[in-house]
C-alpha cells in the first residue's frame, strides 16, 4: 500500500489558521512599531535641543569645576560620535570585504582622538541646553547640573554595587557552605527584587534624612539605588560565574593555586563580560529611577555647588528633573525642556542597553576572550 | 554536587600543604569580604523590612487598622486617614494595566517565538528591551502631554459635554501602566517560551499538528506557569509605579466620582506627594509608612505566588 503524501495546506481549517496567524503577526508588528516610533519620536522631538552646537563660545558662568565638566562632557559626546562612526565604518568595510583596513586598534585610536580633540576644542561650543543651569520660572533653562548628577549617581552607586554585588555573587557561586545561609541570602535577594522602588525611597528617607539627620544627599540616593540594583547584579553575575567551565577551575587548582587565587585570576576574568553587562544594565536603571531619588536626594539644584564632587550635597537627576518641570516648575518653555530631557534620557538608556548587549556577547565559551586564547 | 565536593577536597589538601604562608592571610581576607557581602545583603533586607514595619505598625496603631483600610477620606490636615481611595486606585489601575498591557504582550511573544521569521526576532527584542528600560517619567510625560487631552475628549464624548469628568483618572493611569509594563512582560514571556524544549515542538509536528496547534496546544501550555509569573511581575511593577502615575491620575485624595474619568490617587503617588510635607515621626508621616506596608505585603504575596508556581512546576516534572 502506498502512502499518499499530504501537504499541510490540505488540512481542514488551515485557511482559518493562516488568517489568524497573519492577524497575530500584524498585531505583534504594530505593537513593536508603536514602541519603536515612540522612541524615534522622543529622540527627534528633543533632538534639536541636544544637537544645536553653538558657533560662538558659551561664556563661563563661574561655577566651580565648570570647565572640567565641559571638557568631560565634550569628550564623552565626541567619543560616542567617534564610536558610532567607527562601528558604521567597520560594518561598511566588512560588507565590501575590506575589514582588514581598520583593525580594533585603529578604531580605538580614532575614538580616543575624537574624544580628546572634542574635549579640547569644542567644549565651549556644546549645545547650550546641555551645559546651562535649569530655570524654574524663565524660558531657556538647561540641564547641565542634572546631567552631571545623573552620571555622578551612576559612578557612586556602581562604587557600592560592584564590590558588594560581585562579592555576594562569588560567595553564592563558589564559596557557600551552609545551605541555610544561602537560602537566607536568596530569599533576601528575591524580596529586594520584588519591592516597589518607592519602598526603597522610604527606607533611605528614614535612615539618612530622619535618623541620621543628614538631609537630602547624593550619597543617600546612591546607596538606595545600589540596594535596588543588588538583586539584578547578583543574579546576572552569579549566572555568568556558573557558566565558567569547571575544568578551568580544576586545572587552576591542579596547578597548586588556592581557591581564592583561582577565583580571582581564573573564574572572575572569564565571567567578567557578563558581570560588566550586569553593571551597565544597573547603570541604565540609575538613569531611569526617580521616585526613590526624590525622597533621598531632593529636587533642588543649588547654583553654588552645582558641579561639586561632594557626595553629601543634594541634587536632582534628569529623570527627577523631567517630573519636576512638569509638576512643579513654571517655566513657559517646559514642553521643550521636557522634550530635550526625555531625548537625553532615551539616548543614555539606549546606549547602556546596546553596550550591555555587546558585552554579554563577549562572554562565555563563544566570547572573544576565549577565541583569542584558543586561536 | 560532585564537582563541588572534589573542589572542596582539593582545596583542603592544598590548605594542608601550605598552611601558614602569607598567601593564606590574603585568602582569608578575601573570604571574609565575600561572606561580609552576603551578610550585608541579608542584614540590609532585614533592616529595610524591620524599619518599615515598625514605623508602619506605629502609624496603623495610631489610626486603627479598620479605619485605615476602609475609610474613604484621606485628609492629613484634619487628621483623617482613610486609605480606601489609595488602595482602590492602586489595585484598579494595576489590574487594568494587566489586561491592557499583558494580554497583547503575551500574544506578541507567542507570535515572535512560534511564527515570526528568524531575521526580525533579534531586532524586535532589542526595540522592546530599550522600551522596557525607558524611564517611567518619560512615559508619564508623554501620557501627560498626549494621552490626557485625548482621554478628556473621550470622557466628554461618552459622559456628555458638561459632565464633571477629566482626562486625568483611572482610565489614563491604567492605559499608561499597561503601555509601561507590556515590554517587560513581553521579554519575560519570550524567555519563558524560548525554554520550551525543541523536541516537544518536533513531536507535535510529527503527529500532524499545524504550527498554530503546536503553538497553542503544546508550547503555551508548557510555558504557562512562567508566563503567569511574567504577568504577576507586571502587576507588581504596575502597583508599585510612582511618578508616571502621579502625573496622570490627578491627585485627588478621594474615591473617584466617575470610575474612569475623575481624579483619584494611588498609594505610591500619595506617599511621594505627602512625604515632602509630613513632619518625620508624626502620625501623618507614620501612616504613609503603613500604606507602604500594604504595598509591600502585596509584592511579598506576588513573590510567594510566583515561588509557588515555579516550585510546583519543578515538582510536577
In angstroms, the separation between the Cα of residue B280 and the nearest Cα of chain A is 7
**Residue B316: predicted pLDDT:** 45
Question: What residue of A is the nearest CA neighbor of B43?
Answer: A188
Length of chain B: 317
Put simply, whether A287 touches B (Cβ < 8 Å) is yes
Burial class (CB in 10 A: 0-12, 13-18, 19+), B164: exposed
Of residues B250 and B12, more confidence is placed in B250
Put simply, whether A199 touches B (Cβ < 8 Å) is yes
Cβ(B250)–Cβ(B277) under 8 Å? Answer: no
Across all residues in chain B, what is the average pLDDT?
Answer: 85
Q: Which residues of B touch A249 (CB under 8 A)?
A: 7
Q: What are the tens digits of pLDDT across the range B174-217?
A: 999 999 999 999 999 999 998 899 899 889 888 888 888 888 99
Q: Answer whether residue B15 shows pLDDT above 70.
A: no
3 state DSSP class of A89: helix
Distance of alpha carbon A308 from alpha carbon A151, whole angstroms: 13
The C-alpha cell of B218 is what?
503544546
Cβ <8 Å between B268 and A254: no
Residues of chain A with confidence (pLDDT) below 50? 364-366, 373-375
Q: What are the tens digits of pLDDT across the range B116-145?
A: 888 888 889 989 999 999 999 999 999 999
Residue B48 pLDDT grade (very low, low, confident, very high; cuts 50, 70, 90): very high
Cβ <8 Å between B242 and A290: yes
In angstroms, the separation between the Cα of residue A198 and the nearest Cα of chain B is 7
Q: What sign does the dihedral B110-B113-B115-B120 (CA atoms) show?
A: positive
pTM, whole model, 2 decimals? 0.87
Q: Which residues, 6+ apart, have CB-to-CB distance to B49 below 8 Å? A: A191, B296
Q: Which residues of A touch B35 (CB under 8 A)?
A: 171, 175
User: Which among A25, A35, A165, A202 is the top mutation candidate for probing chain B, defined by the most B β-carbons within 10 Å of its own β-carbon?
Assistant: A202
Count residue pairs from A and B with Cβ separation < 8 A: 258
Residue percentage of chain A with pLDDT more than 70: 92
The C-alpha cell of B86 is what?
489609595
Q: Which residues of A touch B55 (CB under 8 A)?
A: 206
3 state DSSP class of B262: coil
Distance of alpha carbon A270 from alpha carbon A337, whole angstroms: 44
Terminal-to-terminal C-alpha distance of chain B: 20
The closest of A328, A346, A310 to A152, measured between CA atoms, is A310
For residue B81, give the H/E element and its range: strand B80-81
Q: Answer whether residue B315 shows pLDDT above 50.
A: no
Q: Answer whether residue B270 shows pLDDT above 60.
A: yes
**Residue A165: predicted pLDDT:** 94
Cα–Cα–Cα angle for B131, B132, B133, rounded to 5 degrees: 90
> φ, ψ for residue B278 (rounded to 5)?
-65, 140
Question: What residue of B is the nearest CA neighbor of A326?
Answer: B141
Chain A stretch 213-272, residues whose beta carbon is closer than 8 A to a beta carbon of chain B:
227, 230, 234, 246, 249-250, 253-254, 256-261, 263-264
Chain B stretch 175-204, residues whose beta carbon is closer than 8 A to a beta carbon of chain A:
182-183
Cβ <8 Å between A258 and B300: no
The closest of A293, A331, A274, A292 to A143, measured between CA atoms, is A331
Chain B stretch 3-22, residues whose beta carbon is closer than 8 A to a beta carbon of chain A:
3, 6-7, 10-11, 14-15
Q: Nearest by CB to B138, from A32, A166, A322: name it.
A: A322
**Residue A375: predicted pLDDT:** 44
Cβ(A307)–Cβ(A323) under 8 Å? Answer: no
**Residue A298: predicted pLDDT:** 83
The closest of B100, B105, B102 to B170, measured between CA atoms, is B100
Residue B16 pLDDT grade (very low, low, confident, very high; cuts 50, 70, 90): very low
Name all contacts of A182-185 with Cβ < 8 Å and 24+ positions apart: A184/B42, A185/B38, A185/B41, A185/B42
Distance of alpha carbon B51 from alpha carbon A137, whole angstroms: 39
In angstroms, the separation between the Cα of residue B255 and the nearest Cα of chain A is 22
Alpha helices in B64-165 (DSSP H): 65-70, 84-97, 103-114, 118-133, 136-142, 148-159
Residue B35 pLDDT grade (very low, low, confident, very high; cuts 50, 70, 90): very high
Cβ(B205)–Cβ(B197) under 8 Å? Answer: no
Cβ(A149)–Cβ(A290) under 8 Å? Answer: no
Q: Nearest by CB to A39, from B31, B131, B268: name it.
A: B131
- Across residues B267-295, what is the average pLDDT? 86
Amino acid at each position: 500500500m502506498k502512502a499518499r503524501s499530504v501537504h499541510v495546506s490540505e488540512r481542514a481549517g488551515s485557511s482559518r489558521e493562516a488568517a489568524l496567524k497573519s492577524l497575530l503577526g500584524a498585531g505583534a508588528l504594530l505593537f513593536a512599531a508603536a514602541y519603536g516610533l515612540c522612541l524615534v519620536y522622543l529622540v527627534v522631538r528633543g533632538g534639536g535641543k541636544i544637537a544645536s552646537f553653538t558657533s560662538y563660545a558659551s561664556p563661563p558662568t563661574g561655577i566651580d569645576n565648570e570647565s572640567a565638566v565641559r571638557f568631560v562632557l565634550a569628550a564623552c559626546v565626541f567619543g560616542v560620535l567617534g564610536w558610532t562612526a567607527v562601528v558604521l565604518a567597520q560594518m561598511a568595510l566588512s560588507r565590501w570585504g575590506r575589514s582588514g583596513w581598520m583593525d580594533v586598534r585603529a578604531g580605538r585610536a580614532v575614538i580616543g582622538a575624537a574624544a580628546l580633540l572634542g574635549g579640547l576644542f569644542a567644549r565651549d561650543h556644546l549645545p547650550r541646553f546641555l551645559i546651562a543651569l535649569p530655570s524654574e520660572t524663565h524660558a531657556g533653562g538647561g540641564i547641565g547640573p542634572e546631567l552631571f548628577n545623573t552620571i555622578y549617581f551612576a559612578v557612586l552607586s556602581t562604587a557600592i554595587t560592584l564590590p558588594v554585588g560581585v562579592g555576594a555573587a562569588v560567595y553564592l557561586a563558589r564559596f557557600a557552605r551552609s545551605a541555610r545561609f544561602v537560602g537566607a541570602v536568596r530569599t533576601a535577594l528575591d524580596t529586594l527584587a520584588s519591592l516597589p522602588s518607592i519602598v526603597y525611597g522610604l527606607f533611605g528617607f528614614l535612615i539618612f534624612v530622619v535618623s541620621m539627620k543628614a538631609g537630602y544627599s547624593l550619597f543617600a540616593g546612591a546607596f538606595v539605588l545600589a540596594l535596588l540594583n543588588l538583586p539584578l547584579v547578583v543574579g546576572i553575575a552569579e549566572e555568568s560565574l556558573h557558566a565558567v567551565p569547571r575544568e578551568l577551575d580544576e586545572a587552576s587548582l591542579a596547578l597548586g593555586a588556592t581557591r581564592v587565587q583561582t577565583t580571582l585570576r581564573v573564574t572572575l576574568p572569564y565571567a567578567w563580560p557578563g558581570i560588566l553587562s550586569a553593571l551597565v544594565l544597573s547603570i541604565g536603571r540609575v538613569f531611569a529611577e526617580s521616585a526613590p531619588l526624590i525622597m533621598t536626594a531632593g529636587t533642588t539644584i543649588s547654583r553654588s555647588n552645582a558641579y561639586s564632587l561632594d557626595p553629601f550635597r543634594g541634587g536632582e537627576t534628569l529623570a527627577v528633573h523631567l517630573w519636576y518641570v512638569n509638576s512643579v516648575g513654571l517655566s513657559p518653555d517646559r514642553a521643550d525642556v521636557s522634550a530635550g530631557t526625555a531625548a537625553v534620557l532615551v539616548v543614555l538608556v539606549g546606549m547602556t542597553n546596546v553596550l550591555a548587549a555587546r558585552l554579554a556577547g563577549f562572554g562565555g565559551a563563544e566570547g572573544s576572550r576565549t577565541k583569542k586564547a584558543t586561536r | 554536587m560532585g564537582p563541588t565536593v572534589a573542589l572542596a577536597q582539593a582545596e583542603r589538601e592544598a590548605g594542608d600543604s601550605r598552611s601558614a604562608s602569607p598567601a593564606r592571610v590574603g585568602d582569608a581576607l578575601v573570604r571574609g569580604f565575600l561572606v561580609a557581602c552576603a551578610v550585608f545583603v541579608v542584614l540590609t533586607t532585614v533592616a529595610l523590612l524591620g524599619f518599615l514595619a515598625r514605623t508602619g505598625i506605629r502609624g496603623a496603631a495610631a489610626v486603627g487598622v479598620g479605619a485605615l483600610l476602609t475609610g474613604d477620606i484621606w485628609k492629613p490636615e484634619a487628621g483623617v486617614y482613610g486609605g480606601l481611595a489609595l488602595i482602590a486606585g492602586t489595585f484598579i489601575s494595576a489590574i487594568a494595566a494587566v489586561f491592557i498591557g499583558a494580554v497583547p504582550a503575551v500574544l506578541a511573544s507567542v507570535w515572535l517565538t512560534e511564527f515570526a521569521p528568524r531575521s526580525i526576532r533579534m531586532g524586535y527584542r532589542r526595540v522592546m528591551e530599550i522600551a522596557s528600560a525607558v524611564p517611567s517619567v518619560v512615559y508619564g510625560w508623554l501620557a501627560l502631554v498626549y494621552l490626557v487631552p485625548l482621554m478628556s475628549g473621550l470622557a466628554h464624548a461618552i459622559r456628555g459635554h458638561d459632565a464633571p469628568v477629566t482626562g486625568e483618572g483611572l482610565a489614563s493611569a491604567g492605559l499608561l501602566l499597561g503601555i509601561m509594563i507590556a515590554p517587560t512582560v513581553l521579554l519575560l514571556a519570550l524567555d519563558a517560551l524560548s525554554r520550551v524544549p525543541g523536541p516537544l515542538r518536533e513531536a507535535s509536528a510529527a503527529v500532524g499538528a499545524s504550527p498554530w496547534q503546536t503553538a497553542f496546544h503544546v508550547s503555551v501550555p508548557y510555558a504557562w506557569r512562567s508566563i503567569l509569573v511574567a504577568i504577576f511581575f507586571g502587576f507588581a511593577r504596575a502597583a508599585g509605579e510612582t511618578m508616571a502615575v502621579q502625573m496622570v491620575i490627578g491627585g485627588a485624595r478621594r474615591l473617584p466620582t466617575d470610575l474612569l474619568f475623575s481624579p483619584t490617587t494611588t498609594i505610591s503617588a500619595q506617599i511621594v506627594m505627602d512625604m515632602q510635607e509630613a513632619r518625620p515621626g508624626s502620625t501623618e508621616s507614620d501612616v504613609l509608612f503603613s500604606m507602604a506596608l500594604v504595598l509591600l505585603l502585596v509584592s511579598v504575596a506576588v513573590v510567594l505566588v510566583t515561588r509557588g508556581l515555579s516550585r510546583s512546576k519543578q515538582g510536577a516534572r
